Amino acid sequence: MEAGKRRKDPAVRRGLVGAMCTTTALLCNACGAAAGTSAHPACRPPGSRTLAFDGRVRVYSLPGRTPFQRSSYACLLASGRTVALGARGLPQVRVGPVALSGALVAYVTTTMGIDTSSATVSELDLSAARPLPGSTPAASPPRRPESFVSVTDLQITARGSIAWIARTSGIMQPVPVFEVREQLRSRPARLLARGPVVRPGSLRLLRGRVGWVEGSSTVSAPLP
């Protein structure tokens, strides 16, 4: 098989099941750790709601002036360095899902309009001297009016490579189409798969690869 090509692998399917169980356990442990963490006070403002936590970074949201407004932030627990994510306080903007790996943060910003929505995927390195996020569209440009784009899955590696599953639909597209995409740091995003049988919620990292489910098959591709 040519290197770099996606492949179907029964072992990957077993790995996906194990990874799902491990992820659930880690999330439970993280919730408990977050409650008793000795993080910098700047990372624990009153009224904040945790969106993601991994022992080095806490991503949280704060309420705005109305019940529909929330602003989101990423905070480095050791130093208290805090960076705002997305457009702060706008009711039509939502941040999430979020994925963490050390000081690296990947997050989705979804903007809702009238009969439309769009999403971008951004990456942020909180350990950088000037942590400025870079973003890319979550899916291919819509071909129809009144279209909707969202992200169901998001993963980031220790090297900063990210992968995600985007969901696209529209008034004239009753069956949602899903795209699996990956992006290595400072490189353009690459389409790995597209179609209605890609299963949302199935994206997992597995030993230098990213795996997902298409119909009854488990597929994987390199993600260094």
Q: Which residue has the tokens 């220790």?
A: 158
The pLDDT of residue 30: 44
Strands (E), 77-208: 82-85, 93-101, 104-113, 116-125, 134-137, 147-156, 162-170, 173-183, 190-195, 204-206
The pLDDT of residue 18: 52
Mean pLDDT of the chain: 84
Distance CA 80, CA 43 (A): 6
The pLDDT of residue 27: 42
Q: Residue 5's pLDDT band (boundaries 50, 70, 90)?
A: low
The pLDDT of residue 38: 66
- Report, as an integer, the average pLDDT of 131-160: 89
The pLDDT of residue 116: 85
Q: Residue 185's pLDDT band (boundaries 50, 70, 90)?
A: confident
pLDDT tops 60 at residue 188: yes
pLDDT tops 80 at residue 191: yes
CA atoms within 13 Å, Cβ hemisphere of 40: 14
Q: Residue 98's pLDDT band (boundaries 50, 70, 90)?
A: very high
